[in-house]
Amino acid sequence: MKPFKRYTPFCYFKYLLVLSLLLVSPFMIERGFAQTPPIAPLKTHSIQCVKIVSALEQYHYLGKKLDKVVSVRIFDHYIKSLDPYRQLLTQEDMDTLGQYKYQFDRHLKNGVLTPAYDIFNLYLSRSTLRLEYILKLIKTWEKDMAFDLDDVMAVDNESRPFQKSPEDLYPLWKNELKNHIITLKLDNQENAKITDSLEKIYTSRLTRLAQTNTDDVFQLFMNSVTNSFDPHTQYFAPRVSEDFDIHMSLSLEGIGAVLQNEYEYTKVVRLIPKGPADKSHLLMPGDKIIGVGQGKDGEMKDTIGQRIDDVVKLIRGPMNTYVRLKIIPAKKADSTTTISILRDKVKLEEQSAKKRVVTLTRGTLNFKIGIIEIPNFYIDFAAYHRGEKDYKSTTKDVQKLLLELKQENIDGVIVDLRDNGGGSLKESNDLTGLFLKSGPTVQIKTKQRITRLYDEDPSIEYTGPLVVLINRMSASASEIFAGAIKDYNRGVIVGTNSFGKGTVQELKPLGEGKLKLTTAKFYRVSGESTQNQGVAPDLNYPQIYKIKDTGESSLEGALLWDTITKTQYKAYKQLEPVYQALSKEYQERVRHDPGMVYLKNRIELTDQLNHQETLSLNLAQRREKVDLYSAQELENENEYRMALGKEPLKSLDDDGIKLKDYKEIIMEQTQLVMGDFITIAARLGYTW
């Protein structure tokens, strides 16, 4: 019992007494709700806890110690992970539990986990109370609930204050159910079906809650500890330690999406380029999956509160079968929608770099533009380490494509890195070298030193005008490439700010589990970090993705942007005059371009929805709002169709609604920018 030596018998008894009063209050017994048996830590958990803390202090990039400041951060993160919407814990609870805010540092170093488990048991008991209360309401909602009142509920629940006492939580729970019923009514479900669906959903959640075990609690709490250092540092318990990444890729006979838990939801982080979800244009990063159904009419199973590996199992399935996802769209967070995606494999050949050539006519001039799309930075490491000369890699494939493009006498090249989540650091460095003479491409800073990667080959594969297209989901290796091209003035970066993933993680075995640690940061040759802020384009396009839900800056506790000393490198001639001329041409053109006007209107409509502070619980008002949004969306679609000389749609359900993916609109605009760039660069005498 040595790890628990900091507890005196008296203070431990007093602590248990306070928590027992919280866990079994007369208020709860009076209503006859079942009590959940408390969960306790194991001795092995205490031993593992000490190892995790030691590894964090020894190996994490920040080099910080577990002190009172970190203790407060752990407490706050843990409370938020348990009760993100402040509908379970009260201010009374927080006043009582707050005394432990400054004690986690010494408790953790000694393997003392009892306070964390007691907090969880309070959460578990209150969660059980909530679900049983909602199930009781479901039985009589048709006669007891009115949907014609002017009631509202807060949209941003994370910022509301804690309720004063448990009695004050009941109206929140009732409003939650009321809102759930409204969303089902807006889906045109009959009352009997609504009742049946709700009983299944909340009974299932209650069952899952009762299945929580001590390992679940340990992993949840230890990830509050690791996340207090940064969001990419994570502990993997033995049952999930085979997964290096917190995210789970559904690339094998699935839908091709990367998911993560965000509190009780499963959130889409990014889509695998060319995967089934990406090709469907129905799912976007930031969407939250709340239900999964098999086939075109299988039962929709509720996934709120489920482990991510269980959600993944539901989504995966045989090729050429449909999976239905009930989602809360990032662009329309006050409603739900159900989409259907045909499962398939993400084919490796579709992940390879590809080229195409387009001809652009500008006045009397015709330009041949080569477009190279790079979905990720890949390399066959096994073949590379065997010394095989023909191993497959991004750089080798792009080098071949550039040779073919030069034989077609192209006037400029667009490198499309949209939705490229990164990959091999070696490939990012080597690819950059195809467009530069020689020099450093990226700096890597650990706690001890700064190292650099270099392009040591003085030859250049392509010396003409270059445009690099990025978006919010361009991350890691993509940002290193784009940052180097920008710092060397080798080309023009267009699009939106990139993801901002500028950290390096390593996996360390730890007992029976594993610890993924942030051990380094990337910096551009200019000394600027790619972390948090990403790479800023020279020419900004409209932002499609919701910044609050996507990118590094959306992750709580993400490491900050900073700078280090600029390294020595020889840049090309400054491109500032080119940027100014390009911006002027672009701004003039997009005011009248049908595609860009369409995107602008679509983004503004989404922003209106995302900025509302409250949600009406009046069914007629909600239906009116949905109808208004649909009418505005249809109007925007039809304005675009008519600008292209097409017949207008009668409703959003008509076939042909997807006239063009927004990616195509952006690519068409980028081709025009490239035409401007070729002309301006020639006029101003730029060569590379």
Residue with tokens 């949004």: 629
User: Which of 238, 231, 239, 282 is CA-nearest to residue 260?
Assistant: 231
State CA 52 to chain mean position distance: 26
The catalytic position among 424, 476, 554, 616 is 476
Residue 547 DSSP one-character state? G
Residue 487 annotated as catalytic: yes
Q: What's the full length of the chain, in residues?
A: 688
The answer to whether residues 417 and 423 touch, using CB atoms and an 8 Å cutoff, is no
Alpha helices (runs of H) in 148-297, residue ranges in sequence order: 170-186, 191-210, 214-227, 276-280
Nearest alpha carbon to residue 487 among 520, 523, 452, 531: 523
Distances (CA, A) of 186 to 112, 137, 288, 625, 661: 49, 20, 19, 11, 27
From CA 682, how far away is CA 365, in angstroms rounded?
A: 13
| Angular region, 539: left φ>0, alpha ψ -120 to 50, beta rest | beta
The two structure tokens encoding residue 468: 């690099």
Indicate if 616 belongs to the active site.
no
- Alpha helix segments (H runs only) across 468-513: 477-487
Q: Give the Cα separation of 680 and 667 in Å (integer).
A: 20
CA distance 491 to 578: 10
Q: Which of 501, 514, 516, 546 is catalytic?
A: 501
Q: Whose CA is closest to 444, among 430, 470, 431, 425?
A: 425
Nearest CA among 303, 302, 304, 342 for reference residue 322: 342
Q: Which of 105, 334, 487, 538 is catalytic?
A: 487
Three-state SS string over 566-624 comes to CCCCCCCCCCHHHHHHHHHHHHHHHCCCHHHHHHHHHHHHHHHHHCCCEEECCHHHHHH
Greatest CA span in the chain, whole angstroms? 90
Separation of alpha carbons 88 and 83, rounded Å: 6
User: What 3-state class would DSSP assign to 256?
Assistant: coil
**Total Cβ atoms within 10 A of residue 617:** 22
Is 476 noted as a catalytic residue in this protein? yes
> Which residues are known to be catalytic?
476, 487, 501
